[in-house]
Structure 1
Amino acid sequence: MKKLHFIISLFVLAMAIGCSNDSSGSDVDIDSVGAPVNISALTTIAQDNSGKVTFLPKGEGVTQYEIYFGHGATQPVIVNPGATTTHTYPEGIYQAKIVAMGINGKKTEITQTLTVSFLAPTNLQVTLAHVVGDNLSASVSAKANFETFFQVYFGEDPNEIPVDFMEGETIKHTYANVGTYEVKVVALSGGVATTTHTESITISNPILLPVDFESATLNYAFNNFGGALTAVANNPSVDASNVSAKVAKLTKTAGAEVWAGSFLELGEPIDFSTLKKIRIKAWSPKAGIVVKMKLENLTDSNINTEVDVTNTVANNWEELTFDFSAVDNANKYQRVVLFFDFGNAGTGADYYYDDIQLSSGAESLVLPLTFESATLSYAYGNFGGATTAVITNPEKSGINTSSTVSALTKGNGSEVWAGSSLALDTPINFSTFKKLKMKVWSPQAGIIVKFKLENLTDSSINKEIDATTTVADGWEELTFDFAGIVNANNYQRIVIFCDFGNSGTGKTYYFDDIKQSN
C-alpha cells in the first residue's frame, strides 16, 4: 500500500510539472511552492473501552500524509487528503506525529498529544463567546482532563449533528435568527461515560449607527405615523454620490399629515461624547423642502430634540448634516425620527435616505477622491522608499486639467514594493460598483500600477489588482476590476504602487480622480 501511494504522488508531481510547461509559455516554478501549512489531525475515539482512535489529518497544500501513531509499529501509515486511518491504543498519553508532503516533496510535520483514557473526562472548561463584529455568530473552545476530543451542539436545530473538535481549536457557528440558544459541549474519552457542559447564549442583531440599509440579516423595523410609509428599497439613483444598492424609501401618501414621518429604534443610545452631528444622504423629487430629524429617548418620547435642514438638490443625492451640538448626552437618545417636506401635506411623493452616521461636520475623506479640497488632510502613509504628496498638477492636458493631483516619487534604490497608503473615513461600498478608476501619469509605458485595498484594523484582510500603463508622459485612465470582492470586509485603506516589481530610480508618478464605476 505504501508503494502505491508513493507512485500516485510521483504521478501527481509529474503531471504538475508537465502542465507547468504548456504552450502558453506561462511556466510554473514548482520548486517555489511552499511547504504545506496549517497541519493538524482530528482524533476521535470509540466509546467502548476498545481504545480505537480514528485520525482525520487536515492541512493546506498537501498531497499525502504520513501518520506516526506513537505506539506500536515505527513505520508510518500513508493517508490521502480527506481520508482517515485508525489505530488501537491502551490507556495512556501518546505523541502522534503527522507529516504532510506537498506537490514538490516539501514536508511539514507536527506532533500532537493524544490522551487515551476509559475514565470520564474531568475539569471540563468551556469558553462560549460572541464573535466581535459578527452579531449572529458565536465561538466555542474547551479543555478538560482525560478527554480525547469534544463535540458541540449549538442548539439551533433539534436534529443537529454535533461538530467534533480538539482542545486548542475554536469553533465558530453563525445563527440564522436572533434568540436565546442552549449550547452543549460534550467531552469524550474512550469509555462510555462523558462529561457535559450546557450554557445559554443570546444572539441579537441590533441596529446601530452607522445605518446603511445593506444588511440582509438586520430587521429595519420602521414605525410609521401620520400617513407616511417607509421600507428598504433599491437605490433609485446609483451614481458616484451614492453607490449603495439599498436605501430607505419614505412615501408621504396623498393627504398625509404635514408631520407624517417614521422612526427607527437603535440597539443602544447614540453616543454624542465626541461627534455632535448626524449626517445622512437624501434624495428628493424637489429642492427647498424641510427635512426634520428628531431624536427621542426610547422610554419617554417627551425627552427629545430636533433639527431642521433644507435640501438644495432635486432628483439627486446630497448630504444633509444635522447639528446636535447642544444635545445632552445623558438623555440617551435611541430613536431616530425623520420627516420629509415637513409642514406640507402629503402628495404621494417618494423620498429616499441612506447612510445615517455621526459626523464632525467636516468634509469627509471618501470616494471619489479628486485631491482638490482645501480642508481635507491627505495623510499618506509611505513605505519601502516611496513618498507621496498632493501637489499642483504639473501636466494640465488631455483627460486631466484639474488643479491638484497626488505625486508618488519612488526614490533611488527604493524597494520593488515601495508605495503609499491613504485611510478613508468610511469603508468603500462595493454593493453596486465593483470597479475603481484612476487617472495616471507615468514617465514610461508598460509599468505595473498595483491598487490594493485593506481593512483598516486588519491589513491581512486585503485584495489587490494590477493594471499596466500604455502611455508615456501623458494622462490615461486605468481600471481596476474588483469583481467578486466581499463588501463585508470593510475595505477602508487604499494602497498605490507604481512600477511595481522594479526598484526605484527616483522617478515621479502622478495619480488623480479615484472613483467607483461599472
Structure 2
Amino acid sequence: MKKIHFIISLFVLILFLGCASEESGNIDLGGVSAPANVSALTTITQDNSGKVTFLPKGEGVTQYKINYGDGSPESDYFSPGGTTTHTYKEGVYKSKIIAMGINGKTTETTQDVMVSFLAPTNLQATLAHVLGDNFSATVTAKANFETYFQVFFGETANETPVNFMEGETIKHTYANVGTYKVKVIALSGGAAKTTYEESITISNPVLLPVDFESPTLNYAFTNFGGANTVVANNPSVGENNPSAKVAKLTKNTGSEVWAGSFIELGVPIDFSTLKKIKIKTWSPKAGIVVKMKLENLTNPDINTEVDVTNTVANGWEDLTFDFSAVDNAKNYQRLVVFFDFGTNGTGADYYFDDIQLTSGVETVKLPLTFESSTLVYKFTSFGGANSVLADNPDKTGINTSAKVGALTKGNGSEVWAGSFIELAAPLNFSSFKKLKLKVWSPQAGIVVKLKLENFADSSINKEVDATSTVANGWEELTFDFDGATTANQFQRVVVFFDFGVNGTGKTYYFDDIKQSN
C-alpha cells in the first residue's frame, strides 16, 4: 500500500517537473524534506457517543492517515483539508498522525486523545405499584446523554442490578412487606453517572371482600372476652362454600357473653354504593344471634352494630347485615364479629367466610339452577347461537327442574357458536376443581365444550370438552378444570354444543351448573 501511495506522489512530482522543466533541468527528489509541523485538531462530540473527528495539518504534506491508538485499523489516506471520524470508548489514547510528502517520505506525530463522557442529565425515573398485585412494582426511566440504566430494588444487601434501556418497563416482585429504597442509575457509557433514589412501601392490606385464601395476607385477629379466632380449614366444603380456608372463632368455656374478635381493614369500608355486608357462617346450632359491629380505627366509640339470627345448624348459610343507615364519613375500618351473643361460651367452634359488600339482592352464582323467580338470567350469544330461559322439555330422570337454559344453534351458524352467562363473583378453585353440567341433546356423541373466562380480560381463559352419550334425555357431564386457580378470576361461563359442526337449527338444554370434585 505504501508503494501505491509513493507512486501517486511520484505522479504528482512528474506533473510538477513537467511544469518546471523549462526553468531547470535537474530536480533533487531526495532533497525534498519530509513533512514538518504535523499535528491534528481533534473535536469530541459532546453527546456521550465517543465520536472524535481528526483534522490534520502540517507542512509539505500530500496526504494523511490516522492510527487511532485503540487497536482498531488505521484510517485510509486522505487529502489535506479532509477529516476522518472515529468512535472511542471513554479513556485516553495515543493516536498517530502519519503525514506523507511528495516524495513518499513520512512524518509521524503522536498525540493524546482524551475521551470523557458527560454525566447524564434530566434523569426521570417512574416507580409505580402494580394494580392488583400488592407485592410488585415497576420502574421506567429516561435521561439525556445516557447509554443505559441500572435499577437496584433495595431488597437484598448484595443485590445484582437489573440493566435496562429507555422505553423498557422493569417489574420486580418483593417477597415481604416493608419499605425499600429503590435506586436508578443512568450510565453515560463511561465513569460519569447520575443517580435517583426513591422509597417504596410494599403493603398487603386486608380489603373487602375477605375470603381468607391468600397465602400472603396477614389475617390478624384481635380477640377479647375469652374468644379466639384463627384461619382454619373449611369444616364443610360443599356447594354452599367451596373455600379451602375460613375463619374459626372458638368461644371458650366460660367466656363472656360478649366474647368476640375483630379484624382491621386496610381502608375504611365504602358504603357509598352498597349498604349491606354479607358473610357466610357455619354454626353447630341454629337460632343464635350473630352480631356484626363496625368501629372507627382510631376511636372505637364511633361504632354501629347489627344483629342477625342464623337458621342453619352444621351447615353454611349466608347472613346479610343491613348498614343502610350508616354514616359513610365515620370511616368504619374495624370489623367485629360475635357468635351466640348474649350467652357465655361453651367451647363451641363457629366459622365465617367471604365477608363482602352487597346490595342484598339475589345474584347469579354457582350452583346455577335457573329456578329463581327474581333473578334475571342474561345470556350473551355469538356465532349464530341463541340462548334463553325455557321450560324443562323432559322432567324425568336426573332433572325434574321447572326451568332450564335452552341453546338453539341456528341453521348455518358457526362451528363455534355458543352463549355465555356472567356470574356476580369469580369462581373459587381452592377446593373444587371440576364443574358439572346437566345436558339434554337430541343426539348423542356430540362435543359439549365448557369455557371459563376472566371478566375483564377474555384472553385469560380455560376450556374443557366432554362428549355426550345420551340422546333425548338428561345426563350429567363433568368438566375437569385442573390447573385453574382462584387468581384467574374466572367469572364468565361459556357453553358450546356440537362444537366443531355448523348449526342445523337444533335446540340443546342445560341446567344445574355447579362446582364439584
> Which interval holds the TM-score relative to the shorter structure?
0.7 to 0.9
Q: In structure 2, which of residues 87, 92, 101 is the aligned counterpart of residue 90 of structure 1?
A: 87
1:509 aligns to what? Answer: 508
Structure 2 Cα separation of the partners of residues 243 and 293 of structure 1: 23
Matches of residues 68-79 of structure 1 in structure 2 within 5 Å?
none
Compute the displacement of 1:185 (Å). Answer: 1.4
Please tell me whether residue 440 in structure 1 is matched to residue 439 in structure 2. yes
What's the CA shift string for 1:320-356, capped at 9, x where partnerless? Answer: 1111111111111111111000000000000000000
Structure 1 Cα separation of the partners of residues 468 and 117 of structure 2: 68
Q: Counterpart of 1:238 in 2: which secondary structure?
A: coil
Structure 2 Cα separation of the partners of residues 383 and 48 of structure 1: 57
Matches of residues 195-344 of structure 1 in structure 2 within 5 Å?
195-344=194-343
Q: Counterpart of 2:87 in 1: which secondary structure?
A: coil
Compute the displacement of 1:515 (Å). Answer: 0.6
Please say if residues 49 and 191 of structure 1, whose CA atoms lie closer than 8 Å, have aligned partners that are also in contact.
no
Query: TM-score scaled by structure 2?
Result: 0.77
CA, structure 1 residues 498+147, in 2 after alignment: closer, same or farther (shift >3 Å)? Answer: farther
Please tell me whether residue 193 in structure 1 is matched to residue 196 in structure 2. no
2:18 aligns to what? Answer: none
Please say if residues 49 and 87 of structure 2, whose CA atoms lie closer than 8 Å, have aligned partners that are also in contact.
no
Q: Counterpart of 1:330 in 2: which secondary structure?
A: helix
Please say if residues 428 and 485 of structure 2, whose CA atoms lie closer than 8 Å, have aligned partners that are also in contact.
no
1:397 aligns to what? Answer: 396
2:368 aligns to what? Answer: 369
Residue correspondences, number = 413
AA aligned to 1:90 is: T
1:136 aligns to what? Answer: 135
Please say if residues 231 and 247 of structure 2, whose CA atoms lie closer than 8 Å, have aligned partners that are also in contact.
yes
Structure 2 Cα separation of the partners of residues 357 and 463 of structure 1: 27
Decide which structure has the larger Cα Rg and report it.
Answer: 2
Structure 1 Cα separation of the partners of residues 423 and 88 of structure 2: 59
Structure 2 Cα separation of the partners of residues 134 and 279 of structure 1: 25
Please say if residues 91 and 118 of structure 1, whose CA atoms lie closer than 8 Å, have aligned partners that are also in contact.
no
2:380 aligns to what? Answer: 381
Compute the displacement of 1:410 (Å). Answer: 1.2
In the TM superposition, structure 1's runs of 4+ consecutive aligned residues that sit over 4 Å from their partners are 47-50
Matches of residues 445-460 of structure 1 in structure 2 within 5 Å?
445-460=444-459
Please say if residues 119 and 190 of structure 1, whose CA atoms lie closer than 8 Å, have aligned partners that are also in contact.
no
Structure 2 Cα separation of the partners of residues 375 and 490 of structure 1: 26
Moved more, 271-280 or 135-144: 135-144
Please say if residues 48 and 191 of structure 1, whose CA atoms lie closer than 8 Å, have aligned partners that are also in contact.
no
Compute the displacement of 1:119 (Å). Answer: 4.3
Structure 2 Cα separation of the partners of residues 489 and 288 of structure 1: 38
Compute the displacement of 1:49 (Å). Answer: 7.6
Structure 2 Cα separation of the partners of residues 504 and 141 of structure 1: 51
Compute the displacement of 1:424 (Å). Answer: 0.6
Please say if residues 261 and 339 of structure 1, whose CA atoms lie closer than 8 Å, have aligned partners that are also in contact.
yes
5+ unaligned residues in a row in structure 2: which ranges?
A: 1-47, 52-72, 74-85, 90-115
Compute the displacement of 1:167 (Å). Answer: 2.3
2:161 aligns to what? Answer: 162
Structure 1 Cα separation of the partners of residues 469 and 351 of structure 2: 42
Structure 2 Cα separation of the partners of residues 368 and 376 of structure 1: 14
Structure 2 Cα separation of the partners of residues 268 and 149 of structure 1: 39
1:407 aligns to what? Answer: 406
Structure 1 Cα separation of the partners of residues 144 and 410 of structure 2: 59
Compute the displacement of 1:146 (Å). Answer: 3.3
Moved more, 139-148 or 492-501: 139-148
Please say if residues 50 and 88 of structure 2, whose CA atoms lie closer than 8 Å, have aligned partners that are also in contact.
no
2:488 aligns to what? Answer: 489
CA, structure 1 residues 448+148, in 2 after alignment: closer, same or farther (shift >3 Å)? Answer: farther
Structure 2 Cα separation of the partners of residues 409 and 126 of structure 1: 56
AA aligned to 2:159 is: E
Compute the displacement of 1:91 (Å). Answer: 6.2
What's the CA shift string for 1:43-66, capped at 9, x where partnerless? Answer: xxxx9989xxxxxxxxxxxxxxxx
Percent identity among equivalent residues? 75
Q: Counterpart of 1:488 in 2: which secondary structure?
A: helix
CA, structure 1 residues 189+444, in 2 after alignment: closer, same or farther (shift >3 Å)? Answer: farther
Compute the displacement of 1:415 (Å). Answer: 1.6
Structure 2 Cα separation of the partners of residues 206 and 436 of structure 1: 32
What's the CA shift string for 1:488-512, capped at 9, x where partnerless? Answer: 1211111111112222211111111
Structure 2 Cα separation of the partners of residues 420 and 495 of structure 1: 6
Compute the displacement of 1:118 (Å). Answer: 4.8
Q: Counterpart of 1:381 in 2: which secondary structure?
A: strand
Moved more, 454-463 or 247-256: 454-463
AA aligned to 1:349 is: A
Structure 1 Cα separation of the partners of residues 117 and 499 of structure 2: 60
What's the CA shift string for 1:204-263, capped at 9, x where partnerless? Answer: 111111000011111111010000000101101101110000000000000000000010
Please say if residues 435 and 481 of structure 2, whose CA atoms lie closer than 8 Å, have aligned partners that are also in contact.
yes
Structure 2 Cα separation of the partners of residues 275 and 123 of structure 1: 47
CA, structure 1 residues 148+498, in 2 after alignment: closer, same or farther (shift >3 Å)? Answer: farther
What's the CA shift string for 1:382-420, capped at 9, x where partnerless? Answer: 111111111110111221111110001111122221111
Q: Counterpart of 1:415 in 2: which secondary structure?
A: coil
Structure 2 Cα separation of the partners of residues 201 and 217 of structure 1: 18
Compute the displacement of 1:306 (Å). Answer: 0.8
What's the CA shift string for 1:183-217, capped at 9, x where partnerless? Answer: 11122342222222211111111111100001111
CA, structure 1 residues 386+121, in 2 after alignment: closer, same or farther (shift >3 Å)? Answer: same
AA aligned to 2:273 is: T
1:359 aligns to what? Answer: 358
Structure 2 Cα separation of the partners of residues 349 and 361 of structure 1: 29
Structure 2 Cα separation of the partners of residues 432 and 49 of structure 1: 62
Structure 2 Cα separation of the partners of residues 281 and 300 of structure 1: 28
Q: Counterpart of 1:452 in 2: which secondary structure?
A: strand
Structure 2 Cα separation of the partners of residues 428 and 184 of structure 1: 40
AA aligned to 2:309 is: T
Structure 2 Cα separation of the partners of residues 508 and 445 of structure 1: 13
Please say if residues 370 and 513 of structure 1, whose CA atoms lie closer than 8 Å, have aligned partners that are also in contact.
yes
Q: Counterpart of 2:171 in 1: which secondary structure?
A: strand
Structure 2 Cα separation of the partners of residues 416 and 190 of structure 1: 58
AA aligned to 1:415 is: E
Structure 2 Cα separation of the partners of residues 147 and 416 of structure 1: 55
Compute the displacement of 1:473 (Å). Answer: 1.6
Structure 2 Cα separation of the partners of residues 49 and 191 of structure 1: 10
Structure 1 Cα separation of the partners of residues 371 and 160 of structure 2: 58
Q: Counterpart of 2:329 in 1: which secondary structure?
A: helix
1:464 aligns to what? Answer: 463
